[in-house]
Chain A
């Protein structure tokens, strides 16, 4: 009986441990987030080898933000049009003046920018392990200062799939999980 309890405790700890780490978050202590009514999502920069990961994750973020009903989201096509007029190559390198100006043009209080640092699939034997890592931040368009930032990494190969060799999560499931967790730090 004692052994059974010990095994159960070990499994429980491993299961909880397998849930992974929480996102790393920064929230501006003095900023009133209720001020945010409308935000725009700038296409995420892609530093991974997975072509299209930036655009794909941007779409998932927009869906997640809209579903939260926390604020209005600018139609991505309009965001792209305004960004095109600035001939910006790297969205992560926007200057403070550009951010303020873009904010005025899009009539938004916040811009969400970010980077996909990893979006990969690794095969090990008959199973595939998918990993997604993103860094996101929100910049307030009146002053150009960062009011929220979060980074997180999710691996589709969870505790149970590692132990029992069951199928791990697909790339899109991993992406959605990662985005949900990152956005959760802003909305909750």
Chain B
């Protein structure tokens, strides 16, 4: 009986295992290996050791890309997390039309990336785009979104703030699983909304939010690829919105430097791992506060 159960489980896992080895594990290994070679699809690969990495360190564009990526994460990750939580807290109650609002919250995330990017190209248009029209009507500043370097960097961050559907759903489910008696008690004890948020809701949601934080940090390194490629094309010149994924893409598919691109990918992986490790260390210090 147990053997049959195990066999059944293995059988059901097999398609997934196959997919993950062929589509994820194998390419990852190839990438790691390729980072040590020079390869342009035409000549056969040439082993260069850590040469690619030496070159990366001196590459001005790579350094700008790393800085851009880090700045993007610094602003995008906390804002995305705050947005997901705010949306979840706003929409966790039942009220008329709540389903429509929740769907609206998730929708930008499930729109194909390219369509989403093209839409923002229109929204950000400095002359007739709805964003600047609205800002003008309110008497606010009307930046030249895609041609001013600072504004373009913010534009990419703003674009990322609406694709928080997954984080929103996870936060929503977490909020809904909190026992309602706790909130009734808080009501009876005259706790003010902010007090309840800080003393009850946030600590109880913290384990999930930390998971979302790690996940979003990893994800955000890649989240700016399509916007940077389609909306800002890595500019305004020279490299205001050239992020690591775009750097990799350009080196691989425009300059046909596959080995060099692989080395950049490996660097990106190591930087991500380092950040997540640092986050984890910080979190572990005050983790006892959240253990439930």
Whether A and B are associated in the same complex: the answer reads: no
Residues of chain B touching chain A, judged by Cβ–Cβ distance below 8 Å, are none
